[in-house]
Amino acid sequence: MVTQADRSGATPTADLAVELHGITKRFVGVVANKNIKLKVRRGTIHAIVGENGAGKSTLMKILYGVQQPDEGTITINGQQVVMKTPTEAIKLGIGMVFQHFMLADNFTVLENVVLGAEKLHGIGDTARNKIRQISHAYGLDVDPDALVAELGVGARQRIEILKVLYRGAKILILDEPTAVLVPQEVTELFRNLEGLKAEGLTVIFISHKLDEVLSVADDITVIRRGTTVAAVDPHTVNARQLAELMVGSALPNPQTEESTVTDRVLLKVRGLTLSGGPGRRPLLDDVNLDIHAGEILGIAGVEGNGQAELVEVIMGMREPTSGTVGLLGRDITGLPVREIRASGVGYIPEDRHRHGLLLESSLWENRMLGHQTERPNVKGWLIDAWAAQADTRRIVQEFDVRTPSIFVSAGSLSGGNQQKLIVGREMSHQPKVLIAAHPTRGVDVGAQSSIWDLIKHARRAGLGVLLISADLEELVGLSDTIRVILRGRLSGTFDPDTVTREELGAAMTGADGSSAPTDQEELA
């Protein structure tokens, strides 16, 4: 292991794409960055790791011109610069893909990509061809004429990467780029990153998946509580040592204890079909599943194969074409979302910013979100602000939500703390069934461990959980049973104690010959 001090003088300045020295950034009551030092070699993949709230995102926003440092200097390709806007960063060849996407849902891919960059290749066929060229070159598989509102999270991320490449970035900042990808897609992304590196591009890679960091990074910088604590060679450390540098503890383990599954069926889905898929193929096709008390049922699948639609139908956000959803023997198909929640269904959404939080509202107001007609949030017909605030303080303490106050906006919290607030809110209403869509996406190992422990504790207490996740370690470790969804169908059932990642990956892509639609069915 090599410390920052040991490596700081190892690389000549002429070989550096980025050098940050003494970067300090203060907000009201918080020092987000303190005397940060960072050196990124040109033509390398440089990983930055640290807990949620450690200051990584603030540092990258400073490098991208979104925010300005209170102290310190920024040097790009040997030239000291001051960037007051992202436009100035883009002119210097810096592009950033944020963890939470910045796309207009009602625009096509083409319109989103060229927005603000119309002068590069116009807005017509030349731009369309350029998008297709980049998409093909880097395996992004993006249709320029697709409407963003109809695309899943994985496709949205690829659009964001394409936007950066379209603008000619030579230094790419990627914030959690693998959070929505299955193993085969992660492998392909890393192959693409190696190709970018071979062409002389520099990649700054932020991730909480330490095994991925170790496999792809040339250099690693560790940030803890706003300051640089180490710069390490990935060939001399393992994931456990990195985790200890980040949070002072070993890596969490999602492994579920002995089975607590009972015969009592809590959630029953029968014949669930949802029309509207490409080529007249249904988005959901005759889906049948049972979730028992004390059971975690994991759903594995490549992004866009019906996971999101399954969750939305169960939660009442979409009305199915046919089929039923039953909760404790009661048909809840098509009921309003509020009534489904009040009946005992908790919901951790896939995208916490779009469906889980009001970012500009305070924590105590977000505590009421989705439960605004239930105690302790109301007293009679009126909102009980005092009780809601008191319960928010309890959630903050019990679920370790790190915040200076319950009156700050949800948007001011790190991603992991936002997620813990959502989990605390949902678990506080003692649901019978929890729909958990990517519950640890984009959170650090500490927050991940806390969320896993909460889900396992609730399972032991008799909760039934539908777990949707792109993290196969999470699925295998937490689930009692794993079902694979492929093109809207549940096409395979696996025992997490015996299944391998390769077997799951093959089933998720249809490479195992599982029950995906045949060519004749597709043509029909």
Give Cα separations from 143 to 112, 136, 147, 152, 433 (angstroms): 12, 10, 9, 13, 37
Confidence of residue 254 (pLDDT cuts 50, 70, 90): low
Confidence of residue 413 (pLDDT cuts 50, 70, 90): confident
467 plus 493 within the same structural domain: yes
> What pLDDT score was predicted for residue 513?
61
Q: Give the residue from 411, 430, 449 where a domain finishes.
A: 430
Confidence of residue 219 (pLDDT cuts 50, 70, 90): very high
Determine the average pLDDT of the residues in 96-110: 86
Lowest mean pLDDT among 205-209, 260-264, 299-303, 336-340: 205-209
Q: Is residue 437 part of a domain?
A: yes
Q: Does 516 score more than 50 pLDDT?
A: no
Q: Does 485 score more than 90 pLDDT?
A: yes
Q: Is residue 176 part of a domain?
A: no
Q: What is the DSSP letter of 303?
A: T
Q: Give the residue from 406, 430, 454 where a domain finishes.
A: 430
Task: State the residue range of the domain holding 488.
Answer: 252-344+431-524
> What pLDDT score was predicted for residue 522?
34
Q: Is residue 511 part of a domain?
A: yes
Q: Does 170 score more than 50 pLDDT?
A: yes
What confidence tens digit (pLDDT) does each residue in 342-356 have?
Answer: 899 999 998 888 888
Q: Does 9 score more than 60 pLDDT?
A: no
Q: Does 220 score more than 80 pLDDT?
A: yes
313 plus 436 within the same structural domain: yes
479 plus 402 within the same structural domain: no
Q: Does 278 score more than 70 pLDDT?
A: no
Pair 21, 72: CB distance under 8 Å: yes
Determine the average pLDDT of the residues in 280-288: 89
Pair 283, 306: CB distance under 8 Å: yes
Residue 110, C-beta contacts closer than 8 angstroms, at least 6 positions apart: 123, 127, 128, 131, 144, 145
324 plus 236 within the same structural domain: no
Determine the average pLDDT of the residues in 281-299: 93
Q: Does 47 score more than 90 pLDDT?
A: yes
Q: Is residue 357 part of a domain?
A: yes
Q: Give the residue from 414, 430, 446 where a domain finishes.
A: 430
The Cα 45–Cα 70 span in angstroms is: 27
Determine the average pLDDT of the residues in 437-463: 83
451 plus 422 within the same structural domain: no
406 plus 453 within the same structural domain: no
CATH of the domain at 447: 3.40.50.300
Q: Is residue 144 part of a domain?
A: no
The Cα 505–Cα 379 span in angstroms is: 50
Confidence of residue 82 (pLDDT cuts 50, 70, 90): very high
Q: Does 43 score more than 90 pLDDT?
A: yes
Q: How far apart are the two ends of the chain, measured CA to CA in Å?
A: 59
Cα–Cα–Cα angle for 286, 288, 289, nearest 5°? 155
Confidence of residue 435 (pLDDT cuts 50, 70, 90): very high
What confidence tens digit (pLDDT) does each residue in 471-481 have?
Answer: 888 888 899 99
Q: Tally the domains of the chain.
A: 3
Q: Is residue 103 part of a domain?
A: no
Confidence of residue 101 (pLDDT cuts 50, 70, 90): confident
Side-chain half-sphere exposure of 440, counting CA atoms within 13 A: 26
What confidence tens digit (pLDDT) does each residue in 356-371 have?
Answer: 899 999 999 999 988 8
Q: Is residue 456 part of a domain?
A: yes
Q: Is residue 187 part of a domain?
A: no
Summary mean pLDDT of the chain: 85
Supply the pTM of this predicted model.
0.63
Residue 164, C-beta contacts closer than 8 angstroms, at least 6 positions apart: 95, 96, 97, 172
Determine the average pLDDT of the residues in 139-146: 85
Q: Does 279 score more than 70 pLDDT?
A: no
13 plus 71 within the same structural domain: yes
78 plus 21 within the same structural domain: yes
Query: Nearest 5°: phi and psi at 99?
Result: -60, -40
339 plus 441 within the same structural domain: yes
- 517 vs 402: which has the higher pLDDT: 402
307 plus 444 within the same structural domain: yes
Q: Strand 284-292 and strand 94-97: pairing?
A: unpaired
The Cα 139–Cα 184 span in angstroms is: 12
500 plus 447 within the same structural domain: yes
> What pLDDT score was predicted for residue 24?
94
329 plus 358 within the same structural domain: no
Determine the average pLDDT of the residues in 104-117: 92
The Cα 423–Cα 426 span in angstroms is: 5
Determine the average pLDDT of the residues in 301-325: 91
> What pLDDT score was predicted for residue 102?
83
